[in-house]
Structure 1
Amino acid sequence: MALSMSVSAGAHNARHNTDLAYRANLRNVDADLSVGNISIRDVPIAEAYETVFGDSLRAYNAKQKSKGHPERCIGDYLSKIEKAYSDDSARVKSGNKGRVNVPKPCYEYVLQIGNRDTFGGELDNGKAEEIFRETADSIRSKTEGAIEWFQIAVHFDEKDGTPHMHMAGIPYATGCKRGLSTQVSMGGALKALGLERLPDLQNLMMRELEKAAAAHGIERRLMDCDRKHLDVPEYQQAMRDYNELTDRIEQKRSRVAELDRDIEGRERTVARLDRSIETKTKRLASELDGRFY
C-alpha cells in the first residue's frame, strides 16, 4: 500500500488542536467524528515554559537582584517572548521594518497521511493512530534536549481532510552566556540536533513518519510516474521562487498603476493648457479686432 505523506508548518492554535467545543463550530469539522480524535500530549504552553525555563528564569532574576538591577528582572518569560514576537510581526506587517532576530514562542507542524484523492478504505483510523503515536514518540526521542513538544493531537474529524497530526513544540538552547542560561531559540535547537536549516527539521520529521508507516506496510506514495513529492528543501525553494515571482508581478502592477496615474495627470495638464491657450487666443483675437475699428 502506498499513500502520500506531508509535513508542513502552521500557526499554533491550542483550541483548534484539542478543544472539541471549539472544533464543533468549525465549518470543515464533523462534530460527530470528533470523539475519535486523539490527544497524545496536551500541556498548557505556560506550564511547558515553566518546565523548560523556570529554573533558568529564577537564577537570572536572582542574579539581577544581587547586582542591584531589579528592573531587569523578568516576571513572565512566556509573556515577554509573545509580546516581542507580536510587536515585531506588527512592524513587519506595517511595512516599517523587516523581521529581526526575535524568537517565535513555539512552532507547530502538521503531519499528514494521504489526501482526499488517495485516502479511502486502505487505512483505518486504528492503524493511522498507531502510526502517528509511533511517529510522535520517535520525533520526541530524536529531538530530546532541544524541543519540548507540549501539544500533540491527531484529528479524524475534518470532512474534507485526511488523518493528520498536529505537533507544537518549543525550541530552546542551553548554556547561553547572555540573559537566561536556557532560552527560546530555534537556531540553538537546530545546532544541538546537528541540523543546519529549519527545513532539515521537517525532513527529520518526515523520515520518522515514513519509518513508522513503513512498519505498518505503507510506503510513501509516488505522486507522479517518475518522482515523489517535492522534499522539504525543494518545496521551500519552490515557495521562495513563487513568492519572489508574485512580489515581482505585484511590483510591476504597482508600477503600471503609477504610470497610468502619471499619464492621467499629464493628460489633465495638457487639457488645461489647451483650454488656457484657447482662451488666450480668443482674447487676443478680440483685442486685435478692436484695434481695427
Structure 2
Amino acid sequence: MERTISGMMGKGSLTHNRRAFTAENVDTERTKNNIEYCNESLKQVYHTLFDEAVNRYNANQTRKDRMIENYYDKIRTGKQEKLFYEAVFQIGNKDDMNVRGEHGELAKQILDEFMQDFQKRNPNLYVFSAHLHLDEETPHLHIDFVPYTTGSKRGLDTRVSLKQALKMQGFEGSNRQETEWNLWIESEKQQLSSVMERHGIQWLKLGTHRKHLSVLNFEKQERQKEVLQLDKQIEEASHKIIITEKQVQAKKAEVIQAEKELTKMVSNRVKVEKNIQTIQNDKEWQLPEPTTLMSAKAYKDKKAEPLVTRLKEVLQTVVINNLDLSRKLESSGKRLEQIRQQIKRLENRLESVEQENDVLKVENRDLKRLKMALGEEKVISILEHQKAAELPDNKLKCRNGMER
C-alpha cells in the first residue's frame, strides 16, 4: 500500500483547532472523537519561556524606552516574528484514507504515533496546542508551537526565532528552496514515513508537476472565499477586543468590591467571636456568689434571673448575626469564585480574538501585495471567477478535491 504525505505551514487558527469555532466542513457529531494532546494559554507560555530573559534584559538597560514591558505584545505587534507557528500533517486524501473508510482508523493510529515523539524531536519548538481532527474528511494533525532560541548575545538571551530555533536543531537553509522550514518539514515527513512503514504503508512521492489536492489546496480555496471580507472582519475583531477588554475590567472591579465586602464580613465575624469570649470570661457576665444573708428567692430575683435574661438577649442577637454572617460569607465566596471564572473565560476569549485579528491583518497585507503585483483589476477578476465557480451548479465540482 502506498500513500502520499502532506506537511505544510498551517494558518494557525486556534479557535478552529480547539473547536471554539466550527467550520462548515466539520461534522459536529464526530467532534467528540478528536484527540487533544495539549491546549495551553499562549500568553502563559510566553510568561513561562521568556519572563526571566526579559527581566535580565531590562536589568541591563539604562534607558526606559528600551525596556520590554510585555514580550507577548512586542512580538504580536511587531513584524519580524509571529507569535507562534503551525504545522499540519496528513496521510493520503479523502479518497484513500477517509476517516469513515476502511483505512481511517489506521491513519489515526499512524498520526497519533507520529505525534507522541514530536516534542522530543523538536526541543526548540514549544508545543502548546496540538489536535488530531477526526471530524473532517481525512484525519490530520494541527501542531502549534512557539520556536525559541537560547544563548543569544544580542537582545534577549532567550527569544522567539523560527530560523534560529530550527538552526539549533540542525536545519540550516541555503537558498529560497532549501529554507530552514522546508528542510525541517521534509525531515518530519521522513519521520512520518518511518511510522507508516511500521504499519505496512510506503510513502508515495508525487512529482512536482502534479497538484495533490490536500490540506494546502483547501486552505487556498478557503482564503479565496474570505479575502474580500478581510477588512470588515479585522474591524469586527478589533471591536470585539475592545468590548472584551471592557468586560474584563468590569469583572475585575466586581472582584475588588466583593473582596472588600468579604473582608468586612470577616472583620464582623471576628468581633462577634470576641464578644462571645467576653461573655464567657468577663466578670460582668458571671453569676456572683450569694451573700451570707441573702435568701434563695432574693438571689434568684435580684441576681440570677436578670443576668440570664440579659444573656438570652445578647446570645439571641449573637446567634442571629453569626448565622447571617455565615450565609453571607458562603454566598460571597461563591460569587467571588464565579466572577473569577468569568474573568478567566473572558481573558481566554480575548486572547483568541487577538490571535484571529493578527491572522486577518497578515492576510490583508498579503492581499495588498497581490494587488500591487498583479493589479487590482486582475485580482478582482480572479476573485469573481472563483465566486462564479462556487455557485450552486458548480459546488459539487469545487468540493471534489477538498480533503478538510
> How high is the TM-score relative to the length of structure 2?
0.48
Q: Quote the residue 1:290 is aligned against.
A: none
Deviations 1:158-212 (A, max 9, x none): 1xx3000001111112111221111111121121011122201111211111112
1:124 aligned onto 2:104: yes
What is the alpha-carbon distance in structure 1 between the residues aligned to residue 4 and residue 112 of structure 2? 18
Q: Quote the residue 1:6 is aligned against.
A: 6
Report the residue type matching 1:167 in the other structure: I
Q: Which of 39, 59, 66 does residue 72 from structure 1 map onto?
A: 66
Q: Which of 53, 58, 79 does residue 56 from structure 1 map onto?
A: 53
How many residues are matched?
Answer: 211
Structure 1's 210 and 247: CA in aligned 2 closer, same or farther, altered over 3 A?
farther
Structure 1's 249 and 173: CA in aligned 2 closer, same or farther, altered over 3 A?
closer
Report the residue type matching 1:58 in the other structure: N
Structure 1's 132 and 152: CA in aligned 2 closer, same or farther, altered over 3 A?
same
SS of equivalent residue, structure 1 residue 22: coil
1:250 aligned onto 2:339: no
Q: Quote the residue 2:125 is aligned against.
A: 147
Q: Quote the residue 2:112 is aligned against.
A: 133
Report the residue type matching 2:119 in the other structure: R
Q: Quote the residue 1:82 is aligned against.
A: 76
Contact 1:190–1:201 (Cα < 8 Å) also in 2: yes
Q: Quote the residue 2:223 is aligned against.
A: none
SS of equivalent residue, structure 2 residue 143: strand
Structure 1's 34 and 183: CA in aligned 2 closer, same or farther, altered over 3 A?
same
SS of equivalent residue, structure 1 residue 117: coil
Q: CA deviation at 1:222?
A: 5.2
Q: How does 1:87-98 map to 2 (within 5 A)?
A: none
Give the structure with the larger helix fraction. 2
- Identity across matched positions, percent: 32
Report the residue type matching 2:75 in the other structure: I
What is the alpha-carbon distance in structure 1 between the residues aligned to residue 161 and residue 205 of structure 2? 35
What is the alpha-carbon distance in structure 1 between the residues aligned to residue 186 and residue 60 of structure 2? 40
SS of equivalent residue, structure 1 residue 57: helix
What is the alpha-carbon distance in structure 2 between the residues aligned to residue 148 and residue 216 of structure 1? 28
1:34 aligned onto 2:31: yes
What is the alpha-carbon distance in structure 1 between the residues aligned to residue 374 and residue 145 of structure 2? 35
Q: How does 1:194-213 map to 2 (within 5 A)?
A: 194-195=170-171, 196=173, 197=179, 198-213=181-196
Q: Quote the residue 1:220 is aligned against.
A: 203
What is the alpha-carbon distance in structure 2 between the residues aligned to residue 119 and residue 147 of structure 1? 29
Deviations 1:251-286 (A, max 9, x none): 6x87xxxxxxxxxxxxxxxxxxxxxxxxxxxxxxxx
Contact 1:138–1:208 (Cα < 8 Å) also in 2: no
SS of equivalent residue, structure 2 residue 54: helix
Deviations 1:62-105 (A, max 9, x none): 222xx3x23322121111101013xxxxxxxxxxxxxxxx1122
What is the alpha-carbon distance in structure 2 between the residues aligned to residue 193 and residue 81 of structure 1? 22
Contact 2:147–2:160 (Cα < 8 Å) also in 1: yes
Structure 1's 48 and 182: CA in aligned 2 closer, same or farther, altered over 3 A?
same
What is the alpha-carbon distance in structure 2 between the residues aligned to residue 147 and residue 201 of structure 1? 12
Report the residue type matching 2:156 in the other structure: L
Report the residue type matching 1:219 in the other structure: Q
Report the residue type matching 2:6 in the other structure: S
Q: CA deviation at 1:248?
A: 11
Report the residue type matching 1:83 in the other structure: T
Q: Quote the residue 2:135 is aligned against.
A: 157
Q: Quote the residue 1:174 is aligned against.
A: 150
Report the residue type matching 1:123 in the other structure: H
SS of equivalent residue, structure 1 residue 148: strand
Deviations 1:21-52 (A, max 9, x none): 422xx111110010000101211211221222
SS of equivalent residue, structure 1 residue 169: strand
Q: Quote the residue 2:357 is aligned against.
A: none
SS of equivalent residue, structure 1 residue 183: strand
> How high is the TM-score relative to the length of structure 1?
0.65
Deviations 1:207-263 (A, max 9, x none): 111112222222223557xx997xxxxxxxxxxxxxxxx999936x87xxxxxxxxx
Contact 1:221–1:228 (Cα < 8 Å) also in 2: no
Structure 2 gaps, min length 5: 174-178, 213-369, 379-404
Structure 1 gaps, min length 5: 86-101, 230-245, 255-293
Q: CA deviation at 1:129?
A: 3.3
Q: CA deviation at 1:57?
A: 1.3
